Structure 1
């Protein structure tokens, strides 16, 4: 492993002391790895002690990278902006403010993995129900779902999904299985709109997909993970703002603005999907 790679890893995940040790062994503090410098990694990770060390070592905060996000411009989204002539657009500033509100509204959800969800822009729970040809479980027939691991819907548990209207669209949530994130569900919900679906896989981490107007446009995604140098300007910003907040990322990607976490913890309506193969059309 090259020393420049070790410096990048220390800037992204390590301590300031580890960054200082790597700097002593690095000839070029601004070497690019995976489309970004170590300074960019430190700003993205909000490791401000490491940022100061890298700047003192000569790192360039204005160096262009990551679809227009230099380290200095990216820092404008944090609590410790660097001196720069670069600015955020009004839309980007609004996204920063919404991030703070949204993360607070979701109150740290989730506490555990194993759930799946679909965030759907522009349609309500009634339209989602119609598109999925789902049966609405009457309120007086909804079982106690406070213990999600007890299979409250018994033999229908894999087909039971909660749905809730939120500002901007609706959320479908399955606490105990991956059905809400399957191709058929996402495809049917996406007609004329966009869906970000995710399965919080306990074994391999968050697995996301994007469907737009009946077509899959992104799969094997990692909401809440690091941005890619191939990402657009807005995608880099979202990945930075919602690092380690996968559910909030899914909402933000499609423009949902839930006011609290109840769409994920206490859905307004429970549906039973038709019994079919949800992996193939």
Structure 2
């Protein structure tokens, strides 16, 4: 969720009604404390993020590889919600001489970027900053789901692109964590996992001709105990959720109910991640 003053990205598009704009304002007001909580969590986890964000690194590398195989023009390239720079680093490594502007709402995260990197502290809840040139690439990995009304944000990002500009995105979507949700139902405790956006809702307001690549990756992590799957999420700062915390007894019931393949001594947590490439 990561940085800026109002500008080009804050303007309403032709597809945004006055009612929707009013709803967006209300959502921003209600989510102020939530936004602060998320940014605070990532800031506190900044120094350990890269060593623990194994799945996020893998997905960023995959997105950067897809961009390298696409005819994205040179110009202004921006990583939205760059964190410690996993995606920006991967893009620059595949495109020597093409810098990537890294923007994020966490000052602690930005401090960990290479000294030569160009960074900007921007809260993406407030829209995108005004740039002197239209971006030719807006890239973002594991950021969009932290913002209110992700489908509306994605449309505004797309509308900010210059002619022939590209938007490259990964975001976890609904369908993620089926094992967690099943365990919560069996244990009769609330599922405190963050609710992710529906993939179809993200895409439905975009021009069909804009979609150059679209796939939902199903990525599974394994461990010998459910807590070993869930702790890394909190450890990298991604454990913020509007849901009330479970007490220790509820956590024990949840872990006992976690589905476990009979033939293996491991448990699984599966992410559904939308990988999307758009061209304006």
TM tier relative to shorter chain: under 0.3
Higher relative contact order, structure no. (Cα contacts within 8 Å, ≥ 6 residues apart): 2
Give the TM-score, by structure 1 length: 0.24
Give the TM-score, by structure 2 length: 0.24
